[in-house]
Amino acid sequence: MSTTTTPVPPRWHTEPRTVDVHGVPVAYRRAGTGPPTLFLHGHWLTRRWLPFHEQLSERADVIAPELPGFGATPAAPWIRDRTDLVLFLRDLLDALGTDRVHVAGYGLGGWIAADLACHFPERVARLSLLAPFGLRVPEQPIADIFAMNPADYADRYFNAAADGFDDCVPGVGTADLGGVEEFAHRYGELGAAGALIWTRRYDLALEWRLPWLRERGLPARVVTGELDRIVPAGHPRRWAELLGADLVTVAGIGHALLLQAPKATADAVIPAPAPVEEHQS
């Protein structure tokens, strides 16, 4: 940890490629062979090709864009809500020359992935949601990611096993965590997340839209850390019910499952080593 004002790239940072979508240079990383898999980040862990991505890329052609306002992708003033973002993602798929993809997403990204499937089911071959945000489960609100005390990150995100992940800060944090430039960068990213979900931390429409995906026969999978202290267990259970999806629990792990159990999590998304067949909906 340092208070330097010189930006230091986070660990696992790689230089992204860019693709233009309506004038926005969208940063993305892409590697691997197999079925094209669009992986949508959550409110943290941008700008990196994590061991989790690497694992996944051994089984699929992983495309990991940074959403407008996150990572190296500038915000676009005309993306003001999740609907705007989903339209943008459809056009991103066009720009990348991909038609039907396996869509996966983590946390906030899981919610966006589900939105994309609801709006453009013909573009989605499979859906994989990791600790997704987006539902309202009575008496089990998702943690307030915008107001969390940095002193609680280790406990809430890493289940008190945060050693080695100092530079993976899941909230705005403080300037002591990675310096003031990183602090401001995280502030901007959380602001981009806030623009999408602050006003309403859940979308009741998912309660009827997700069963429509089930009726269409969309293969879906929900992955959760057994000990998640950000997204309570009732959420992945409800997602799985509504989607008629498999619910895969990664044992002994919390919300930072991508970091703390990269292989097991990748296995949960795309079982290895058997190649995954393309599902037809």
Partner 1 sequence: MNRLEFYMFHLMPYPFIPPGEDLESTWVTLPNTHFDARTAHKLYLEYMDQLVSCERLGYDGIIVNEHHQNAFGTIAAPNVWAAYLAARTSRIRIGIVGNALPLHLNPLRVAEEIAMVDIISGGRIISGHVRGMGAEYHSSGQNPTVSKARFWEAHDLILKAWTSDGPFTWQGEHYDIEHANIWPKPLQRPHPPIWLPGTGSADTIDEAARRRIPYMQTTTSNHVTKKSFETYRRVCEEKYGYEAAPTQLARVVPTYVAETDAQARREFMPHVMWFFRTGLRIPMHHLMPPGYNTAESFLRGMKGRMAAGVKDFWNLSYDELIDLGYIIVGSPQTVAEKYAEQQEQYGLGAMISAGGHLGSMPHWMVMKNMQIMAEEVMPHFREQGRPVWADTRPAGATTVSEHAATVGRPPIEPVLRLDNGKDLPARTGHIPEVLAETLGQALGPSLGQD
Peptide bond just before 273 cis, omega within 30 deg: yes
Nearer to partner 1 by Cβ, of 187 and 208: the residue is: 187
By CB under 8 A, the residues from 198 to 237 that bind partner 1 are 198-199
* Residue 105: strand pairing partners: 40, 129
C-alpha 145/C-alpha 122 separation (Å) is: 32
Q: Work out how close the CB of 250 gets to partner 1 at its nearest, in angstroms, rounded to a whole number.
A: 28
Q: Work out how close the CB of 132 gets to partner 1 at its nearest, in angstroms, rounded to a whole number.
A: 20
Residue with tokens 């330097």: 4
Give strand ranges (E) for the chain.
Answer: 17-21, 24-31, 36-40, 61-65, 101-106, 124-130, 220-225, 246-250
Nearer to partner 1 by Cβ, of 149 and 280: the residue is: 149
Q: Interface mask (CB under 8 A) for partner 1, residues 3-42, using x and -?
A: --x-------------------------------------
Nearest Cα to 212, choosing from 124, 95, 86? 124
- From 12-20, 83-91, 116-124, 142-150, give the range in contact with partner 1 by CB under 8 A: 142-150
Q: Work out how close the CB of 22 gets to partner 1 at its nearest, in angstroms, rounded to a whole number.
A: 20
Nearer to partner 1 by Cβ, of 181 and 241: the residue is: 181
Tokens for 80, please give them: 């003001």
Among 191, 211, 244, 262, binds partner 1 (CB under 8 A): 191
Are 63 and 26 a contacting pair, CB within 8 Å?
A: no
Among 194, 232, 244, 252, binds partner 1 (CB under 8 A): 194
**Residues ≥6 apart with Cβ < 8 Å to 168:** 10, 11, 44, 45, 256, 259
Among 149, 251, 273, 274, binds partner 1 (CB under 8 A): 149
Residue 187 engages partner 1 in binding (rule: CB under 8 A): yes
Q: Interface mask (CB under 8 A) for partner 1, residues 163-182, using x and -?
A: --------xx-xx----xx-
Nearer to partner 1 by Cβ, of 151 and 274: the residue is: 151
Q: For residue 163, what is the enclosing H or E element?
A: none
- Torsion of Cα atoms, 199 then 202 then 206 then 210, to 10°: 140
- What residues line the site for partner 1 (CB under 8 A)? 5, 144, 146-150, 171-172, 174-175, 180-181, 183-185, 187-195, 198-199
